Every structure is written in structure tokens, then in C-alpha cells.
Amino acid sequence: MRLEALELRLLRLPLVTPFRTAAGVQSDREVLLLRAVTSVGDGWSECAALAEPTYTAEYVDGARDVIVRHLLPLLAAVELRGGDVASLLAPVKGHRMAKCALELAVLDAELRSAEQSLASFLGATRDAVDPGVSVGMSSTTDELLEQVAAYVDAGYRRVKLKIAPRHDIEPLRAVREAFGDALLLQADANGAYADDVDAAAAALAALDDLELLLIEQPLGDDDLTGHAELARRIATPICLDESIESLGDLDTALALGACSVVNLKPGRVGGYVEAVRIHDRCVDEGVGLWCGGMLESGIGRAANLALAALPGFTLPPDLSASDRYYRLDVTPPFVLDGGRLHVPKGAGIGVTPDPSALEELTISTEVVQVQA
């Protein structure tokens, strides 16, 4: 298979509900879609990078630039297999979300031509997953409880609350008291307690009696020793997100005792092939695992559902139904069915963009020919 051209399409998708975190309020999502034009057909993917470098150092405009100027030339005049893309792109340091998007676009084209689903290629064992939902910070407790009640009524079986210093014990306790122990509840700090391990331990130990599934990324992404110290001082399991960008990062974290659960996002680790390697190591080490989300459109959600259907994903993923995020998605919407989301069964990622939705949501399009 040869890569002949790459279409980079930037979309803006307004969010149904603005998403409030410690970093600010997000009211829409810029999405970068790739369409790989190959000798065996087209393949689609989505880059997980945000518009601003607030989650990792990557951001949409930077991803577009590095794909066109540095990554794409490495795939020119090469007989491609999707599983080999990561190694071909290895000479470029970092830029994992950009690499993941390019890998998936090539994989999707290859798998569509072979009439094989991405789920089958990755090793999925389930045809549906039990999703969770992530809830941003609310202005009032009543507003928070209203949001959570709506999600519980819709069928979500796990709720994650964003937390930060002085915005942690009260909202979590309110949700636990309102919905009881039957609700799977977890917290995500996005590194908000990074200034002081002692202060973090004091604040987060107060959450131990709430029986949370986990506390996600309480400290900075480069502070594995701090997470190890914190894990020794609180009872609630520590989950790492931003800290785990590769299998090597995971091995270091486990050796230090920095976590017992991992939030695995394929864009953050450089691709779906690397994500499967991390999944397998978590299974071998008995580490809890779940698939995170980045407010993806239907393209990214389809691929992530295929990954989340692997047997080692033991906790509900952050892969909610389309109407949780967008009134108009680029694919037919994903909907809850008895509290579950079905994994696409079709070839490749199993979905394709709707042309009318693409036209309405597109900001710009660029097509780059690949020089043989």
C-alpha cells in the first residue's frame, strides 16, 4: 500500500454544554481530521490535540505543521503497513498525537481494504462497553447534582468529577450522599495539586471515606516520585493520565509505586499499536485500566471504542454518547443502548464522516500530495 495524498480538515464543533475546568471554560472543540488517500482506498482519523497546549505540549496548529513538514515525508515512497507507521515516524521526537492520527489514517485505509475492523485488529473481545461520563466544575452544588442526575437517568454507570484545591471534598461528598454507594465515582485533578505533596496528601486523604474508584493525576505530569509518595499516604487508588506517554513511562511508574490505575489515551501515547502494548503490560501487572477521551468527534470515538473493548480495560471509559458533547457530529451519532455503547463492526474504524456535516463544520481544508 502506498500513501498518495493526505487531506487535513479543521472543524469547529460547538459543545452542547460548556466544559469548566481549573484552566477555564471550553465552549467548542476544534477538531483536526485526516483523510489518507492510498493505493487501496481512503482512511480516516482524528488528531486528539486541543486548540491550545493546555493538556500536553501539542496543539492543533502545531500538529498540522509537524504532520505536513516532518511526518508525512517519512511515509513517502514506502510500502506501508499500518502496524509499521510508528516505527517509521520514530526519527521525529515527541508529537505523539500527530503520530497517532497519521498511524490511524493509514491503518483505517488498510483495514477497510482487507474488510477487517479495527476492533478485531487490536484484539477486542467485547461488542459493547459500559461508558462513564466526565463532569466539569459547576458553579453551585445544585447545578452539579442536576447534571449528575441527568447522566445517571440516561444510563451512565460511572461519573468523574473535575476537582482542584478548595473544590474537591464538598462536590464529591454531595454527589456521594445524593446518589449513594451504587454510583461509581472518581475524581480528576489534572495536576491541580502539583505545588506541595504534603498539602496534596492532607487534602486528598479527606476523600478516602468516599470510596472513590480513583483520583486521577493529582500532581504534575513529570512528578512520578511525588505520586509514589502520595500513593503511600492516601487510601484512594492513584491513576495516572498525563504522566504516561509510553510503555517506558508506565514501567517507571510501576517500579516506583506511583499508580495502580492507568487512564490510557491512544493519542497521548503515540498511537493504537503502542496503546495495545501498554494494555498488555497492565494486564500482566494487574494494573487497573480505562480508556480516556478528549471530547472526540465520532471519528475518534469510534476508534477509541474499538480499543476500550480489549479485555484489560477493567473500568468504564470516558467515551460518552455523541449527544453528551455535540448536537451535530461528523458521523452518525453514537447513542446509549441500555446504558452501553456499541463498538463499530464495520471495516476499519467502522464509520465515515457525513458529507453535509463535514461541509457545515469545516473551517479549512488542505490537501498535500505525497511525493514518490
Give catalytic residue positions: 162, 265
Inter-residue contact 238 to 231 (CB < 8 Å): yes
Rounded to the nearest angstrom, the gap between the alpha carbon of residue 135 and the centroid of all alpha carbons in its chain is 15
The residues, ordered by sequence, that sit 6+ positions from 176 with a Cβ below 8 Å of its Cβ are: 183, 185, 210, 211
* CA–CA distance, 144 with 73 (Å, rounded to integer): 48
As a whole number of angstroms, the distance between CA 99 and CA 271 comes to: 7
Q: Which of 28, 66, 35, 65 is nearest to 50 (CA)?
A: 28
Distance, in Å, from the CA atom of 38 to the CA atom of 1, rounded to the nearest integer, reads 7
Query: How many angstroms separate the CA atoms of 315 and 312, rounded?
Result: 9
**Whose CA is closest to 247, among 283, 216, 213?**
283
**Contact between 322 and 333 (Cβ < 8 Å):** yes
Beta-bridge partner residues of 96: none
